[in-house]
Structure 1
Amino acid sequence: MGVFVTAFLAPFLVIVLNSFKTSADYRKNGPLSWPESWNWGVLGDVWQRVDFTQKLTNSLTTSLGVVVVAVALALFNAYAIGIGRVRWRTPLLVFFLGVNVLPQEGLVYPVYYLFKQFGLYDDKLGYTLLVGIVYSAFGTYLLTSVFSGFPRELIEAASLDGAGRWTILWRIVLPMSWPTLSVMCVFFFVWSWNEFLYPVVLLISNDNQTVPLGLSAMQGQFTSDPTALSAAALLGILPMVVFFFAFQRTLTRGMAAGAVK
């Protein structure tokens, strides 16, 4: 286990070491050496060059918006398919599964022209809706399998007590499904944070770009600053590390809840 953890953390340790080196130190001693002197100004320089405050705000707002849209759509769809038992249930599940296996490259071309026609190009709201809808397909497929095994006795008892469909959803289904929903929230947030293809096509202005696009701007065709790239990578992964530490219990609890029926 110690060897596995060391191998897993080695790339992150290399990034941290190179984030505080000078360019001369990197060229002289290489990427695996200890810094001769800790250059704390690299992070500040990269923060200003990338305009990281704006990029961080954009990533946070779009990722949170994607989580809300994707989870809400997936919840309503799965409730109708898994518990409501709508007609054409199997073809609908095949449709949502097909959306999951479609490559993003196959969707970029029509999405680009669709956004142009509807005036959503270079708009964070349009991008958030698009990614949220795409992710909701996976969420629908996952939640439908969970709702298919939902105790029918609880729903029938609630119906006999006079509860309607909305009451059953909010008072019974949602609380009992929260462990699965919490795991979905974590996954959707991380996926949206690391999204690159859709933002690079749909968010072209500097004020709307996300963190991955800001980090890619550090790499030129003929120029490269390894220490600045390491510092930019460190700034990009730190929010994810904080996020995982903050929601570690929620993620562990949700995965454990799904393991035992």
Structure 2
Amino acid sequence: MSRRGPNRRRFSDWIVLAIAVGLGLLIAVPLLLILINSFKSPGDYNSSGPLALPTGLYFDGIVAFWERVDFPLKLWNSFFISGMVAVLAVGLSMLNAFALGIGRVKGRLWIVVLILLANMLPQEVLLYPLYFLFKQVGLYDNPWSVIITFTVIQSAFGTYLLSSVYGTFPKEVLEAAALDGAGRWQILWRVVFPISRPTLSVLLIFFFIWTWNEFLIPLTFLVSNANQTVPVAITALQGDRLMDVTTTSASALLGLLPTLVFFLIFQRTLTRGITAGAVK
């Protein structure tokens, strides 16, 4: 039995590895096709198809998309909106979860259920009320309309997650801090925040990427070219007759690279946050 155990574990590990490699290839194939076709000329694409390697590097598609949509401006808009939403949503989630998970407000369970149900609403339901609201307050076609909307949406999920985490927070730690004379704000910033920092960092990364990839609400509320985000700018050119397949692939590549770079930069932070949460 002792000899068969390790062999069985090794065999199962190989199966898991093979499945992981297969899934990775399925995910990587579309990205590889985008990368290949981004550097093809239209003639090269028409003659060899989408699967063949380019005969030479062709940068006109990338340059054409870069100049046509003013890509640096769209990149800044996406970074500004996604960054502000990530920071504000994490902060609001932490304050709400502290009140619900540690403060033990009355009706805590019903409030959490209400937040969860609100988070399940489709974005299409929110479009007309928010459109009318932002028109009235003068925030229509303003990045802050998208920032406010997604801060509330993302913080609903963050509140639900963090309230469950804070609900299991060690009472001994909180009581010791209170005996030392710490108030609620001091307990929050000097005790709860440092311990839950790995979880907050994971939420920050997810909120940034989720907001970056959003399309419907930015398309509805940011109508001027100067305020559009990268996904909206890419889609706005899909119906342009001047757009060819290689330029479309180049636009997809430029839209993908920032989130990929952001993920690679904060990969260790994400891994440490998930690991720390699992250990705790």
TM (normalized to structure 2)? Answer: 0.91
Match of 1:127 in 2: 146
What RMSD in Å do the two structures reach over aligned CA positions? 1.2
- What is the CA–CA distance in structure 2 between the aligned matches of 1:86 and 1:18, rounded to whole Å? 56
91-100 or 4-13: which moved more?
4-13
Give 1:158-169 correspondences, 5 Å limit.
158-169=177-188
Q: 1:85 aligns with which of 76, 85, 104?
A: 104
Match of 1:5 in 2: 24
Match of 1:252 in 2: 271
Tell me if 1:170 matches 2:189.
yes
Structure with max Cα Rg: 2
The number of residue pairs the alignment matches comes to 261
**Unpaired runs of at least 5, structure 2:** 1-17
Tell me if 1:206 matches 2:210.
no
Match of 1:30 in 2: 49
1:193-221 CA distances to partner (integer Å, 9 max, x unpaired)? 00101100000000000000110122117
1:215-257 CA distances to partner (integer Å, 9 max, x unpaired)? 0122117675111110000000100111011000000011111
- What is the CA–CA distance in structure 1 between the aligned matches of 2:252 and 2:240, rounded to whole Å? 18
Q: Which secondary structure does the structure 1 equivalent of 2:53 belong to?
A: coil
- What is the CA–CA distance in structure 1 between the aligned matches of 2:24 and 2:127, rounded to whole Å? 38
Give the 4+ runs in structure 1 shifted more than 4 A.
Answer: 221-224
1:122-174 CA distances to partner (integer Å, 9 max, x unpaired)? 01122211111111000000000000000010000100010000000000000
- What is the CA–CA distance in structure 2 between the aligned matches of 1:114 and 1:249, rounded to whole Å? 41
- Specify whether residues 92 and 71 from structure 1 end up closer, same or farther in structure 2 by C-alpha distance, changes over 3 A only: same
- Contact residue 19 and residue 43 of structure 1 kept, 8 A: yes
Q: Which secondary structure does the structure 1 equivalent of 2:196 belong to?
A: helix
**Unpaired runs of at least 5, structure 1:** none
- What is the CA–CA distance in structure 1 between the aligned matches of 2:270 and 2:109, rounded to whole Å? 30
- Contact residue 50 and residue 217 of structure 1 kept, 8 A: no
Match of 1:39 in 2: 58
Tell me if 1:195 matches 2:217.
no
Match of 1:95 in 2: 114
Q: Share of identical aligned residues, percent?
A: 53
Superposed displacement of residue 7, structure 1: 2.4
- Contact residue 200 and residue 213 of structure 1 kept, 8 A: yes
Give the residue type in structure 1 aligned to 2:35.
Answer: V
Q: Which secondary structure does the structure 1 equivalent of 2:201 belong to?
A: helix
Q: 2:88 aligns with which of 55, 66, 69?
A: 69
Superposed displacement of residue 3, structure 1: 3.4
Give 1:111-126 correspondences, 5 Å limit.
111-126=130-145
Tell me if 1:236 matches 2:255.
yes
Give the residue type in structure 2 aligned to 1:204.
Answer: V
